[in-house]
Structure 1
């Protein structure tokens, strides 16, 4: 299935492009994600999600397959498998950046293929859940970018303090420990159920009205 999402970040397109390519910086903004290693354009990690009483952990790898700095377009190929189960997930994620004054619009297209228990939700619910998660990611990313802008110090000002090699050692980064997909999907499920439920209630009301108006038989 193909999912389309968009969000804005409060920086110019050139800065947003640098942020997009900084996996260690953006990974903590993704709900339920843990970044475990980075090797050049490739990285590995896990995502923990909850489906009602069911908890799932996906482990996988991803890599940048395209980086077009002039067009501000990047493509990521990712694949993962349930840590305890047979479910799999594969995705090709294309992000395109568009300058909007002091902000940047990020368009994300995800070609997703999943197997196992999450597949039961269907395309409609997954679209709603993806939109909710992207919204949480965008809010966290905007807050992170605003709180720690990557700016060049002016002449005479001190730059960032380099704490030595230890400051640059790889470290696992993480977002929230777990993201509840049922919570994210609850309103979409209810919203989809309302039209048929309303139609059923109307039919029942009409039948009751007909029954009440039916004349009684006389002996």
Structure 2
């Protein structure tokens, strides 16, 4: 399924570019994600997803296939597998940064393939969940960026909205984030979506009962 999201951050494009490539800095803002290792190109970690009473853990890697600083474009290929199950997830994520009103607009296009329990939600629900998760990520990142100081401009004055050089370093590091809380798909999807899911499950249950009754009558 193809998903598209966009958000803005309150810093110039060049600063946003460096920050978004700083895995240590952005990892705490990634819902459900735990980063275990990063060597400058490949991220190793896990993502926890909760579906009702069941919690699924996907373990895998994400590789930066492209980092075009001039075009401010990145391509990330991520793949993972359920730690205890046969479900898989694979995504090609293309991010593009552009200047907007003194800040930076970040557009993210995701080509996502999911198998296993989360696949039952379908594209519509996954898009709604994606919107909310990207919104959470953007809000968290914006708060972190707004909480940083500026760098000295001409005359020793600080330039608001620019990050200090020490805050823009992108050095590989291991164990860069602590254990994350799982993404609760039903809670994130919201009540209307949850009701739709309940209706689908109920319809499936009724169909199953009808099928069983027909089979029993045939065997009599």
RMSD between superposed Cα atoms in Å: 2.5
1:180 alignment counterpart: 184
Please state how far the C-alpha of 1:171 moved relative to its aligned partner.
3.0
Distance 1:30 1:64 in 2: 17
| Greater radius of gyration (CA) | 1
Question: How high is the TM-score relative to the length of structure 2?
Answer: 0.77
What corresponds to 1:147 in structure 2?
Answer: 147
Instruction: Give the whole-Å Cα distance in 1 for the aligned partners of 2:123 and 2:165.
Output: 46
**Residues 188, 43 of structure 1: alpha-carbon distance in 2 compared, 3 angstrom cutoff:** same
SS in 2 for 1:11: coil
Q: 2:27·2:176 contact (CA, 8 Å) conserved in 1?
A: no
The match for 1:134 is 134
Instruction: Kindly indicate whether the alpha-carbon contact (under 8 Å) linking 2:37 and 2:176 is maintained by their aligned counterparts in 1.
Output: yes
The residue that corresponds to 1:80 in the other structure is 80
Equivalent residues in 2 for 1:162-173 (5 A)? 170-173=174-177
Distance 1:123 1:147, change over 3 A: same
The answer as to whether partners of 1:125 and 1:188 remain within 8 angstroms in 2 is no
Structure 2: stretches of 5+ with no match in the other structure: 158-163, 167-171, 198-220
What is the aligned partner in structure 2 of residue 100 from structure 1? 100
1:173 partner SS: coil
Once the two structures are TM-superposed, the CA of residue 186 in structure 1 deviates from its matched residue by 2.8
3-state SS in 1 of match to 2:174: coil
Which runs of at least 4 in structure 1 moved beyond 4 Å after TM superposition? 153-157, 190-193
Contact 1:88 1:116 in 2 (8 A): yes
d(CA) in 2 for partners of 1:71 and 1:2? Answer: 22
Shift of 1:190: 5.5
Higher mean C-alpha deviation, range 168-177 or range 8-17: 168-177
Kept in 1: contact 2:39–2:173 (CA 8 A):
no
Tell me the SS of whatever aligns to 1:135.
Answer: helix
- In structure 2, the residue matched to 1:210 is none
Work out the CA distance in 2 between the residues paired with 1:30 and 1:138. Answer: 9
> Unaligned regions of 5+ residues in structure 1, if any?
162-167, 194-219
Q: Distance in 2 between matches of 1:69 and 1:78?
A: 20
**CA offset at residue 20 of structure 1?**
1.3
Kindly indicate whether the alpha-carbon contact (under 8 Å) linking 1:96 and 1:106 is maintained by their aligned counterparts in 2: yes
Q: Using the alignment, how far apart are the partners of 1:145 and 1:38 within structure 2?
A: 22
Q: Which residue number in structure 2 is paired with residue 41 of structure 1?
A: 41
In 1, are the aligned partners of 2:24 and 2:173 still within 8 Å (CA)? no
Matches within 5 A, 1:1-219: 1-149=1-149, 151-153=150-152, 170-174=174-178, 176-189=180-193
C-alpha distance 68-87 of structure 1, shift in aligned 2 (>3 A): same
SS in 2 for 1:80: strand
